[in-house]
A and B are shown apart, each in its own frame.
Chain A
Amino acid sequence: MTLRVNDLAVARGGVPVLGGVSFEVTPGTALILRGPNGAGKTTLLRTIAGLQPPLLGQIDGADETIAYAGHADGLKAMLSVAENLTFWAQVFGNSDIEPALAAYQLDPLRDRLAGTLSAGQKRRLGLARLMVTGRPVWVLDEPTVSLDADAVAMFASAVTAHLRAGGMALIATHIDLGLNAETFDVTPYRAKADMRSGASDEAFL
């Protein structure tokens, strides 16, 4: 099973941002997306995760295989760490949250309400959620925001373990994670003006 993106064009708010994007992620490998702010990394990841339709092109191997982590962690302030994680595990049909708690050293915090966690701790909980989904493709949008150096190392080892188990990862980031992965710069794929036609919602209506 491979995640394959072919000649993909994506739009944000009806304006095309990227066009002609093609890449492949094979089992056991990760791909790091790079590009300046506003280049369209988030839009590309949201499209691959199936949250918005592509303008053009195909995405293969993304059906029911993707665990997406965006800027927001989807945590409920009034639920404890363990309750938040258990909820997501159950939604994805799993029940064991212990490995995820251990990987991000959340065990001492398990009964704390998520609302009382620091930003970095919340982020760790949001990333731990990926491990309980059991999905092979991790699509991560700036996963290291507000993480300290130790937490980044935890994240890197979690991704490495996931890849070793045959998983895949697609990560948009600005920092060096120390992963042995290919880099894909989206800057040359900026959309051209002539792609503007068909970019409106008309096709959808």
Chain B
Amino acid sequence: MSAPSVHKAAAIRLTGIDKRFGAVHANRAIDLSVAPGSIHGLLGENGAGKSTLMKILFGMIHADEGRVEIDGTPVAFRSSAEALSAGIGMVQQHFSLIPAFSVVENLIMGRARGSVLSRLTRKLDLKAAAERAQELSDRFGFGIDPLAKVATLSVGARQKVEILKALWGGARTLVLDEPTAALSPPEADELYAVLHRLRSEGTTIVLISHKMPEIMHLCDRVTVLRDGAVVGEAELAGQALDEPAVRQPIEAALVNMMIGRDKPELPERAPLEGPVILDIRGLTDGTRLGPIDLKVHGGEIVAVVGVEGNGQSELVELLMGLRKARDGMIGIDNHNVVDWPTQRRLDAGLAHISEDRHATGVADTMSLIDNASIGFVDGAPFSGSPLSLSQKQRRIFTEVLIEQHKVRTPSPDLPMASLSGGNQQKLVVGRELARAPRLMIAAQPTRGLDIGSTVAVQDALLRLRAEGNAVLLLSLDLNEVFAIADRLVVLRKGRIVGTMQSADFDIDQIGRWMSGAVEHVATKPEETDPQTLEAAS
């Protein structure tokens, strides 16, 4: 990719964009210029103002001040429909597809023009639309069947349908908001290939991301935002990024710009070998999971990785006693707890950071004090008996949690909903750690958190490990797994299809296991029986 020519008008030029939401200054006089036919990265932590800026471009939010130019022409979009017709397409973080519809129905939905009467009587030409969709799909290498129901597609394929939908509407500039957040490595690679193909066909792409490898791999140029302002830019095209000596200083500089300081380092960890704490044998729920065998020792963090929806949630629910086991046993400290109710398991030393904080982790409208002290029934640090809770003790307990885990809040009496996601999560982690668990089940503990909060949560898990406890980590973020896990197992279609020690971590092999593309098993996995290998091949 050549450097943007000064003579060509920028595909997008934002000048002096300013936006306030009440007391929050979301965008501060932002200037951004995107060269046509390039991939431009927009890097920043949560709340840095990336999404706000792109929503302003897309006409979903109106800026207080500033100018937007498309291909050199000033525009003022009043709605996303106007942005679409000007050739700007946006792929949001949350899918905007209808699972019950076919791909082609999703594409043509709401697009037809013409009189109400004709739209009410004339037959939809799904066949012609499907042919056009097939053409587009072939041209950019999507590999999508236009007549397939979206509900039957993988997350990666849905992401491509989203892009197809934007192109269908005639988009020449695509804005992608964290497009690989839910994808497995092979799926992400496929998406990268699609984006490269799009760029070579002349499409301009703005990539919102906080994943450093992705930005380095894809972008021609990157703009870094922090606290609503542009804090730096870097030209990546033409740099020899394959050379670690070239790449690493650029990466470090970008991280520094993004978080305003150097990336906090996780402490070194020594191998520990404790007794077996979690011992799962032949566990199955009869439908989505198992049978699986898995051991986790004290002083060990074992990560369960896999594409979302391959039995991770079921495993957590089985361990917590929220789902009934069909067969098998769950040993915790040599007790078979498979028939125990949840409360008894908690008493036996189980703790759980839940995957969906809003659904099962916190009560949004209740105060921090309530949320911090929930779930302690017997032997709680603030009650003599289950029937009387000491308000004073609960307040002290909560204040200690807030202090220890650096939860940013003006008061423990505020509702949980007043906190940012990262601060909510820090409180939840603190609460679960306060159980002094023998076994911590951490499901997506850092999803959606910024770098600072992420490191704080990971650090807490490592301290738990250092004290000789066991951690079962379920994560979609392989960087996190590589950073803190001692061992990982790959879950696919409810079975463990591979396992790997931290010294041997190999992202390509893990990707093959996750996607099921295992022709020959290179390293012989331990702890898998012949049956699971069969399922993998």
A and B: real partners?
A: no
